[in-house]
Structure formats: structure tokens, C-alpha cells
Amino acid sequence: MQLPRVLLIGDRFTDPKQAAKIKMAVQAGIRWVQLRDHEASTDGFDVAAVRLARELTQIDRNVLITINSRINVALTRSMSFHTGKHGPSIFEAILVLGAGVPIGMSAHDGKELAVAVKNKAHYIAFSPIFPTKSHPEARPVGLEVLKKVCGHAGKIPVLALGGINPSNASSCLHAGAYGVAVHSAILDAADPKAAVQQFSQVIPGL
């Protein structure tokens, strides 16, 4: 399937205030949302995911919704899946969900990148490209490393993650990234809709 080029990471989506911002972003044109909340209970995550997925598809019936780490939710709710250090291996995810389900993987170094490529992830979110408020201790790899990552990934789409904003998103695309994954630049913005519109000027159609 053709993936959108901007992935909104809906961290802490179980919080109603955060869910409201995610809905605003979809109203403004975001077409791909990852639902993530590592602190939520299993039942709380599932209930909130079903509710928000219903609300998002009412806004845009074609919005792609991806579940982070909670593979049972992705399986029972027939949603795409994203995994990393908090979830099962990508090999396990493919066994459970099947090769036809879009499955992405987070990678932060060459070893994780090699695993994603070997197991034929549908996409790879590589981070951090730039300094990021959510992980200030993480050393950003920069655009030159991103360019090498995209080369090693071959035909697998790479999403640049970490400190992405409307000012630097285009440089990631020029480095070879298929698209970008965004969190703070939209959900921490005073006006999430305006933030999405700024991204759309750089990545038309998102």
C-alpha cells in the first residue's frame, strides 16, 4: 500500500486532551496516526484505541491507524502495527499479523536497521535525526547518517524521526527519506491545525 509521507505519533493518546489534538491534526489533513501509550493498561489502551479510531475515521474514512507495541490490539482490531523496544520483534509481529499487514519498526542504529531490513519491514522509523525534547539524552545522527540509512534500507521507506519540524523536514526528504514521523511539532504546538498546515507546505498532500 502507498503510505502517507507524514506519520503523526499520537503519544499518550489515551488522555482525552491529547486525543482532541490528534483529531484536530486529522481534521487539518494528517492521514496517518500511530497510537502509542506505553503507560496505559491493556484494557485502557484497547478501549481508547477503538474509540479514537472510530472518531478519526469519521473525520477521514481513509486515515491509516497504526498501533504501537500492543500486538493483540492490532490483531483483534485489524489495524496496522509498529514495533520497537517496547514490543515484539518484527519477525514475531509478521508471524502473528501476517505479511499483508503494514508493520513498521523503530531503529536507532545499524544493528536495528539491519534487523528491520532483513525481516522486510514495511517501513523504518529511524531516530533521532535532530535533537529532540522527548529524548534530550539521545545523540542526534544528522542528515549524512540518514542518507546512508536510506541507502541501506533500499526499497523500504524510511521515516526520519526526532526533532522534525516544518523547517527541517524538507532536508530529510532531500537526504533520501520517504517521509517524516512527527510528535512534538504538532501535538505540543499552540495550534495543531496550523502546525499541520505548515508541514503541508513542505510535504504537499502529507
Give residue-wise pLDDT tens across range 143-193: 999 999 999 999 999 999 999 999 999 999 999 999 999 999 999 999 999
**For residue 75, what pLDDT is reported?**
97
For 101-130, the pLDDT digits (tens) are: 999 999 999 999 999 999 999 999 999 999
In the CATH scheme, what is the code of domain 6-202? 3.20.20.70
User: Across the chain, what does the average pLDDT equal?
Assistant: 96
Neighbours of 191 (CB within 10 A): 13
**Residues 106 and 138: beta-carbon distance below 8 Å:** no
pLDDT of residue 115: 96
Q: How far is CA 75 from CA 47, 58, 69, 118, 120, in A?
A: 14, 21, 11, 23, 19
